[in-house]
Structure 1
Amino acid sequence: MYNQAILCLESGYQVILAKFNPQFIEPNQNVEILNRIKLGQLACCDDLPSVLDSKSIQTWLKSIPNFHQINLISLIELQTNQQDHEAIQDLMISLKTVAYHLRIPLNLQNNPLLSDFTFPVTYRWPLTHQPTNQPTQKTFKSSLQIALSSSGSSTILENRLKREIISKLNERVGDACEAIAELKSRTQLLANHDFQLQAPQSIIPSPQIPLAQHLILKTDPTSQGVLDNGKQRFESSWISETTLTQISWISQISQYWPITQIANLHQNPQAINEILNPPSTHKLQPNLSLLPSSDHQGVYTLSVKKPNPNRSSLLSPQTQPSPTPKKGSIYLVGSGPGHASLLTCAAYTLLTKSASVILCDKLVPDQIINLIPNHIKLFVSKKFPGNSEFAQCEFMEQAIKFAELGETVVRLKQGDPFIYGRGGEEILFFRKAGYEATVIPGISSSIAAPLLFNIPLTQRGVSESVVLCTGVGRRGKQMSFPSYQRSRTLVILMGVIRLESIVKQLLEMDLYPGYLPIGIIERASSFDQRILLSTLSNVVESFQSIGDQRPPGMIVIGWSVMCLDGNGSVDILDHPTEELQEVLDRKRITDWLCGKTFFVKHGMNKAFDELHQRFTNST
């Protein structure tokens, strides 16, 4: 019951405990409350009026020192019998009347109708990596916290749900949050330095421009500035390319990197310096003649595993070759769509037993990475915008170097290595260096993701063929999509970020109808997987209305998107005449969407977790 008082104290409030009820538990029964009273952090008041009506309560409140600084009032209800309950109800009404007239927000426990606010249950994650310059007996907390509220309906249920949330999250999320904060802080310092050196003198720093990266501004070439809603905007050329790259990289790290790897950046200046010093001057391109030399110094990638006493740092140093190294081997492995239960047996064996070095793409999720034992060297790619080519070359070179040292190298890729995985480039690169890589197929998300939402890419009476495309052409060029065929399903990978332009292009092409079903699938096989189902003409607005994106995502277009929903519709190719086709199609779409423009499905079938647990237990 004292949680509210502690919460307010930790938030910077001055707190007064007032005992309205004789049965109120004494403060000395709570050690923390007693200590805070002794330290003068908390006041305890007993001089309350004997009659607790509105007038008496108001007079008492006004007698409190600094009365006008009271920010909120909270009443904890303690019931002992029916008579006490009735008295407390009268007290609540009186308090509500007084608080309303004095304009003080009021919280009444178990009475949300009379309350102006409620106290959520909260939790703040501790730092597992404590500051080295602080006393070890003190537990430092991170900036990350959650607040959960049922609007006063059930405090017990709130606490239960809080415990479940905490148990399901990585214990190092607090360290990860601090690491991102440190990266952003360091980047802000550099941006502010650029601002002072190059920004126009007429721009004066203010709370409205706290970060330099917010000033991505445009200008009229005929003037020094233009007006935008009454505010002048200036050129942002003073923001360095390095700063913009850092901002982009931090965003990618927050979105894709495993929590453990992000947490390992906390209080690790060497690792953070590597992130904040991207190799922008190294414009490496894939080159099959580019083979590693003995003195090549690449940019190290970061180990994502837990701290190991045998490792001196998170950055793995170059291993010196032994006098007579044994030639190693290279495996090109597909990790599937993401869920551990969808790994092949060969991939599972390599990741958990056979591999000595794993070079992992950034999209491979935590659930797969957590299978890898600590003794295996693990590196995660930095394929961020503007650095993809460099990171690709770096990993190919590192694979050769580790193989020359006799290591069993696994090049781990999301999905299948040959489905937009650039596996072919690596095969040729390794072969030219004298290594014939073994390719382990993976379940491609292009096939598995629709399946997880009961979308068959081919279905008798609906879809006779499927075309797989990428949403972005080489070097950013616009893709050319196939023309519309009623009996074909179109799957577009890596296209969600360009959804609007893709839809516009398809609608402008001959015969693509605006009422054609489309599905946007995000984070397939993850616990928070989601699909938005709509029509081609409504999908852009619908997708924008459901909130933040959940990359990675893919697009499925065609009649197979809706053919297994409800009672099914597997006679789409069986219309007797073309005249009736559009009428029947529009009716089918209206029935499928229930008269709406879209609907959303989300969540992973728990059966996959159970199957993975059974497999793990059996091995």
Structure 2
Amino acid sequence: ARAFAALESGAAVLVFAPAGQDSICDELKWRAAQGQLELRVLGDNEDEHDALERVFASSAPRLVCVTDTLRTLEHARSKSSAEWIKRLCARLGVPLNVADMPELCDFTFLATHRAGTHVQLGVTTNGHGCRLAGRIKRELVAALPRDADRAVQNVSRLRVLSKAQGPLEDDEAEAEGVAADVNAPVPQRNAVQETDVDAAKRRMRWIAQVSEYWPIPKLAALTESDMVSLLSDPAPTLQPVSGTVHDFAPAHGRIYLVGSGPGHPGLLTRAAHSLLTSSSTHAVLSDKLVPQSIISLIPPHIELHIARKFPGNADNAQAELLNTAIDLLQRGKTVVRLKQGDPALFGRAGEEVLALRAAGFPPVLVPGVSAALAAPLLASPAIPVTQRGVADALAVCTGVGRGGKGASVPGYERSRTTCVLMAAARVGALCEAMLAPECSRRSGDAYPPHLPVALIERASMRDQRVMCTTLQDLEEAMVALGEQRPPGMLVVGWSVLCLDGEGDTTVLDCVESSEILEIDVQRVQKWLGGIRWKVVEGLDAAWDSL
């Protein structure tokens, strides 16, 4: 297996067999006969150590693997012999791997699986459980979408098509076009003022967005015309519809504005589930943030459209989606407009209601479970947005202002929890607005720097992540956390710590105390346990059965 993996990577392979030709498997003999690798055996009366010294001198190996130490072999190499090889490799500066002897290894091998020509998985236990690594690999492979390789091929083709339309001038410009944070705020697009370089960067950002958000089966099913359409830069406006509501026959289509909840299928309402799986539903127009776990419920007979709400293109994508909806409705179709969370909580439901009503198709609104309330409860430990003795009010705001600008935040009130949706990519601006002594984007008092906060990413999903810290350390903690996992929301206030450990529901008891600052600082230090931030990965396993 070591030889085959090395050959597959393009390396030159030399197999040294001190036990002679009989110890070599037929496959290796055949490959040697075909000139794919070189075989050397120990000659008569030849000392193995001398022979190895000569092999090393003549071949100058980059890596050495010792496989005849496996304890299952009848004549396994002794540990003292393996230690001699270890000293030889160390003297020559050659990394070594010894089977079944992790203490002698300079590196370990991955248990690998190649899914097609573009996707390869690798798992390692760093020498502490090779058999288990193989099992973990098998379980990951079983969970891998069958069409993942095709999805990668299509994304690669998208990149080729994008560069053909107007390649970026250098790698640095391309890197700028594909920022590490695919949700970094950018100005709304203006097709008239967009330069060729701007357009090229926009296309690369769009490809990063579909790679992050679109379901794997959707990516795998893309045709060449789909790709060309995806990369095109229409700036549609909502098409006027002649007539009034009363001019349309009742037999015309019907549209439902549906909230899909935070992402876990168990948090879908019965009404939402029924609409998504109904044989009478013809099309689903989905926001990009609705996760695969929800999208996969949609039967294949239902037409699926995913909004191209990429950075800087939200307004254009909104008009494009509404035009698609109206076209379907005029043909008598039943349409589900699928939104994450609740459609009316920063979901642009109001403007869609007005536009659809003006077109003659008043929608039916189906409420959904909002992440503003659900995500904090899914943290571990749970965060209640209101709690007697801690918080008796709740403010919900967005981290995104109109036109992609910074949003305003409410001022600090000790007894209030503030939930900021769509916050992860705008933490810097939010911290500035909350902490600055004076700020035009804050209506009220500044927030105390030691105030507890929780950043909750991918709430209700298996890769949920919750990071708890203080407002003053939030930006630094975000950098330490690494790559973001959108969508993310921020919970700010004393409710963040109130159910941790033994709990603390006395926050409002000492409001009038002259020592309140000292008490609060001690409260926060106890909560964080002497560290500046703490992270909890994953969703409670109990949700797997819900």
TM-score, normalization by structure 1: 0.78
What is the CA deviation profile of residues 375-403 of structure 1, one whole-angstrom value per residue up to 9, with x for unaligned ones? 11111111112221121112112212212
C-alpha deviation, 1:56, in angstroms: 4.1
- Alpha carbons of structure 1 residues 81 and 393: separation in structure 2 relative to 1, 3 Å: closer
* Residue in structure 1 matching 2:231, options 276, 283, 291: 276
Partner of 2:389: 461
C-alpha deviation, 1:24, in angstroms: 7.1
In the aligned structure 2, how far is the partner of 1:393 from the partner of 1:215? 28
Partner of 2:139: 164
Partner of 2:106: 116
Is the contact between residue 518 and residue 558 of structure 1 (CA under 8 Å) also seen in structure 2?
Answer: yes
SS of residue matched to 2:350: helix
Partner of 1:560: 495
What is the CA deviation profile of residues 174-205 of structure 1, one whole-angstrom value per residue up to 9, with x for unaligned ones? 2222222222233334444x64xxxxxxxxxx
Counterpart of 2:420, as a letter, is I
Q: Verify: 1:17 aligned to 2:12, yes or no.
A: no
In the aligned structure 1, how far is the partner of 2:474 from the partner of 2:260? 30
In the aligned structure 2, how far is the partner of 1:60 from the partner of 1:252? 51
1:253-292 to 2 correspondences below 5 Å: 253-265=210-222, 268-279=223-234, 282=235, 284=237, 290-292=239-241
Q: Verify: 1:183 aligned to 2:158, yes or no.
A: yes
Q: Verify: 1:606 aligned to 2:541, yes or no.
A: yes
In the aligned structure 1, how far is the partner of 2:502 from the partner of 2:199? 55
Partner of 2:525: 590
C-alpha deviation, 1:255, in angstroms: 1.4
Q: Verify: 1:42 aligned to 2:33, yes or no.
A: no
C-alpha deviation, 1:52, in angstroms: 5.0
Is the contact between residue 516 and residue 558 of structure 1 (CA under 8 Å) also seen in structure 2?
Answer: yes
Higher mean C-alpha deviation, range 76-85 or range 108-117: 76-85
Partner of 2:454: 519
Is the contact between residue 285 and residue 325 of structure 2 (CA under 8 Å) also seen in structure 1?
Answer: yes
Counterpart of 1:356, as a letter, is H
C-alpha deviation, 1:291, in angstroms: 2.8
Q: Which runs of 5 or more structure 1 residues have no equivalent in the other structure? A: 127-140, 196-208, 217-236, 295-323, 612-619
In the aligned structure 1, how far is the partner of 2:429 from the partner of 2:54? 66
SS of residue matched to 1:113: helix
Counterpart of 1:88, as a letter, is S
Using CA pairs below 8 Å that are at least 6 residues apart, which structure has the higher relative contact order?
A: 2
Is the contact between residue 148 and residue 216 of structure 2 (CA under 8 Å) also seen in structure 1?
Answer: yes
Is the contact between residue 333 and residue 410 of structure 1 (CA under 8 Å) also seen in structure 2?
Answer: yes
Is the contact between residue 312 and residue 404 of structure 2 (CA under 8 Å) also seen in structure 1?
Answer: no
Partner of 1:248: 205
1:22-171 to 2 correspondences below 5 Å: 25-28=23-26, 30=27, 33=28, 35-48=30-43, 50=45, 52=47, 54-62=49-57, 64=58, 67-68=59-60, 70-79=61-70, 84-85=75-76, 87-126=77-116, 141-142=117-118, 144-171=119-146
SS of residue matched to 2:418: strand
SS of residue matched to 2:121: strand
In the aligned structure 1, how far is the partner of 2:540 from the partner of 2:426? 29
1:225-236 to 2 correspondences below 5 Å: none
In the aligned structure 2, how far is the partner of 1:164 from the partner of 1:383? 34
Counterpart of 1:167, as a letter, is A
C-alpha deviation, 1:415, in angstroms: 0.6
SS of residue matched to 1:410: strand
CA RMSD of aligned residues (A): 2.5
- Alpha carbons of structure 1 residues 560 and 79: separation in structure 2 relative to 1, 3 Å: closer
In the aligned structure 1, how far is the partner of 2:368 from the partner of 2:529? 37
SS of residue matched to 1:245: helix
Counterpart of 1:73, as a letter, is V
C-alpha deviation, 1:102, in angstroms: 2.9
Counterpart of 2:301, as a letter, is H
Q: Which runs of 5 or more structure 2 residues have no equivalent in the other structure? A: 178-193, 244-248, 438-444
Counterpart of 2:153, as a letter, is E
Partner of 1:234: none
Partner of 1:130: none
SS of residue matched to 1:332: strand
TM-score, normalization by structure 2: 0.88
Higher mean C-alpha deviation, range 382-391 or range 339-348: 382-391
C-alpha deviation, 1:404, in angstroms: 1.9
Partner of 1:502: 430
Is the contact between residue 188 and residue 211 of structure 1 (CA under 8 Å) also seen in structure 2?
Answer: no
Is the contact between residue 325 and residue 406 of structure 1 (CA under 8 Å) also seen in structure 2?
Answer: no
SS of residue matched to 1:578: coil
Is the contact between residue 330 and residue 411 of structure 1 (CA under 8 Å) also seen in structure 2?
Answer: yes
C-alpha deviation, 1:41, in angstroms: 1.2
What is the CA deviation profile of residues 575-616 of structure 1, one whole-angstrom value per residue up to 9, with x for unaligned ones? 2742122221111100100011110112112222212xxxxx
Counterpart of 2:272, as a letter, is A
C-alpha deviation, 1:457, in angstroms: 0.7
Partner of 1:440: 366
In the aligned structure 1, how far is the partner of 2:55 from the partner of 2:392? 80
Q: Verify: 1:399 aligned to 2:325, yes or no.
A: yes
SS of residue matched to 2:103: coil
What is the CA deviation profile of residues 139-192 of structure 1, one whole-angstrom value per residue up to 9, with x for unaligned ones? xx22x2122222222210110111111122222222222222222233334444
C-alpha deviation, 1:263, in angstroms: 1.9
In the aligned structure 1, how far is the partner of 2:447 from the partner of 2:171? 47
SS of residue matched to 1:521: strand
Partner of 2:184: none
Is the contact between residue 333 and residue 417 of structure 1 (CA under 8 Å) also seen in structure 2?
Answer: yes
* Residue in structure 1 matching 2:301, options 369, 372, 375: 375
C-alpha deviation, 1:54, in angstroms: 3.6
Counterpart of 2:120, as a letter, is Q
Counterpart of 1:271, as a letter, is D
